[in-house]
Structure 1
Amino acid sequence: MKTILIVGGSKGIGNAILKNLADSHHIINISRSKPDFKHDNLTHHSLDVLSEDLPEIELLDTIIYCPGSINLKPIKRLKVEDFKEDFNINVIGAVKVIQQYLDVLRKGDKPSILLFSTVAAKLGMPFHASVAASKSAVEGLTKSLGAELAPSIRVNAIAPTVTDTELASKLLRNEKQIENMVDRHPLKKFLQPEEVADMAAFLISDKAASLSGQVFEMDCGIVSFKI
């Protein structure tokens, strides 16, 4: 049983990962709100990683950093503060967590780090300037840290397309929007958080021992295909 730190496990994809892994691993969750899920293997810390001190952790095998943002505005309506906020959530928070626990993680059992990007870092889409910029930084961080921490710690990222979570609710708020979103993807679907959780579980497992510095597009074909 590994010890896995999930940052942002109370909602969305992070919550799906927490539920996926709780039966087989000891989970430490850090998020501002408490998960709607109880398990003997779950320890929760309520705090904001950007503004509060992180808890002491003595044993750690994996870090999964899930916080994200979908701040969609035309460039003229985006303020510098919007870019800073998205960068803080997506990049600075991850860096703070990794720096805090790196020494402990180095001593872990086949340790790994998993971060989250977005398909918007690869596919240019209107109104995504702020989130695409910050998530592109996450992809650069993934590759750079993968090289720096090899061979002891693997570092990978998942770049999902639209996923049916509270964060994406504005994009899926009615039947017409859902129909349009399905139609935009060549596989005629978008993601469920459980699908992303399955990929996360694989990437932190020993089955993915040869994978590091990779960004995995879970795109339902929207980046990969033109049909």
Structure 2
Amino acid sequence: MKGKNIVIIGGNSGIGKEVAAQAEKEGAKLFLYSRSGEGTTQLDITDENSEIQDLPEVIDGLVYCPGSINLKPFHRISPEDFKAEMDVNFFGAVKILQACMKGLKKSESASVVMYSTVAVQTGMGFHAGIASAKGAVEGLVRSLAAEWAPNHIRVNAIAPSLTDTPLAKQLVSTDEKRAASDKRHPLGRIGTPQDIAAATLFLLDEKSSWVTGQILHIDGGMSSLK
């Protein structure tokens, strides 16, 4: 990881911020982007006219963190809601991947990490919007992993369950809500940004040099245990 150029989209909050902190400790050179621009280069991935600036010539790692949690019953999800989910989670990722492709191909061993959700594999009520968008992400991950393998670019995703980030604050805003969320997980707690960041760094590192096209479930056992 030392000396590697790592691009993080959404690098000033939640999981992205923790990935940046852990990667910096490992000696990586960081290129951080976020919508607010606070401590990063400003980039709104939902703005069709927004272009990513100041990318390094060689990109050894790309982490795409933007996401959404909009839980509604299906009959209340409008076409505009579905589009908004896709814009942040899928089309924004496509835009960034295409912008970074040239730099990734110049690396001797590049790694792309994206994020899905446990709700793609495990059917959950009120998750139709986000599960649909992240399902598209998982398809993209596998397709690009196959297409870019000859270029020595690995593409993987992490599928977390509920993680204690600003994005999820409404779901754990009271002691009662947090306790109920903890109880739903076989390991007895929700995830932390550190949990997800540690897995992200593994996928960015050469330790995972034979791993591509995978969806890594870091979810406290939610997807596979009862």
Secondary structure of the residue aligned to 1:217 is: strand
| Equivalent-residue separation in structure 2 for 1:27 and 1:91 (angstroms) | 23
What displacement does 1:35 show?
Answer: 4.7
Tell me which residue corresponds to 2:45. Answer: 49
The TM-score, its normalising length taken from structure 2, stands at 0.94
Could you say which structure has the higher helix fraction? 2
Q: 1:16 to 1:46 in 2, by over 3 A?
A: same
Q: Does 1:31 align with 2:34?
A: yes
Paired residues, number: 219
Tell me which residue corresponds to 2:20. Answer: 18
| Equivalent-residue separation in structure 1 for 2:137 and 2:38 (angstroms) | 25
Root-mean-square deviation (Å) = 1.1
What displacement does 1:101 show?
Answer: 1.4
The residue correspondences of 1:1-227 to structure 2 (distance < 5 A) are: 1-23=3-25, 24-35=27-38, 44-51=40-47, 52-57=50-55, 58-151=57-150, 152-226=152-226
Equivalent pair of 1:9/1:30 in contact (CA under 8 Å): yes
| Equivalent-residue separation in structure 1 for 2:38 and 2:22 (angstroms) | 13
| Equivalent-residue separation in structure 2 for 1:80 and 1:28 (angstroms) | 34
Secondary structure of the residue aligned to 2:188 is: coil
Q: Which runs of 5+ in 2 are unaligned?
A: none
Q: Which runs of 5+ in 1 are unaligned?
A: 37-43
Secondary structure of the residue aligned to 2:74 is: coil
Secondary structure of the residue aligned to 1:150 is: helix
Equivalent pair of 2:37/2:43 in contact (CA under 8 Å): no
Amino acid paired to 1:12: G
What displacement does 1:33 show?
Answer: 1.8
1:56-77 Cα deviation digits (max 9, x unpaired): 4222111100000001011111
Structure 1 consecutive aligned stretches of length 4 or more whose deviation exceeds 3 Å: none
Tell me which residue corresponds to 1:41. Answer: none
